[in-house]
Amino acid sequence: MDYIMAVTVIVLIVGLCVMVYSFFMKDEPIQTATSNDADKAMEELNNLSRDVFTEFDEKYKELLFLYEMLDSKKNDSRKEVREAAKKAETKLSAFVNPKLKDILELKGKGMTVNQIAKTLNMGQGEVQLIMNLGRNR
């Protein structure tokens, strides 16, 4: 869509240039071009338009490549930020409540709240409270 719009703009600009040229040159006598001159001019115009289309196509592909590269970098950055946030959250949680780390390790091993409480010499309610507070961080 952008490609077509760019070509349309170029055609309009060329048309506008022709109009301006004819406006300023109306006092000069108009010379008729021969068939060969017209064919040569048409061929030059075709070559120019082909070159313009080719260059637009190359620039369009380059922009798509750059966009995909930036999008990839953005996704990688988001992933890195999430990982860093998780690490920071874990460190902060362990710093705020040192028992949380032990509780989460035991929970990760598949132990129940009752088993964790007995292992750490704590009450079940305290274990549950610390786990809930750790989840909310």
CB 114 within 8 A of CB 122: no
The residue ranges of every structural domain in the chain are 45-90, 97-137
Q: Where are the alpha helices (DSSP H) in the chain?
A: 2-24, 35-96, 98-108, 113-120, 124-135
Q: Which long-range contacts (CB under 8 A, 24 or more apart) does 10-18 make?
A: 10/49, 10/52
Residue 72 CA to residue 32 CA, distance in Å, equals 58
Quick one: pLDDT band at residue 85, thresholds 50, 70, 90?
confident
Given pLDDT bands bounded at 50, 70 and 90, which one contains residue 114? very high
**Predicted model pTM:** 0.36
Residue 116: how many CB atoms within 10 A of its CB?
Answer: 23
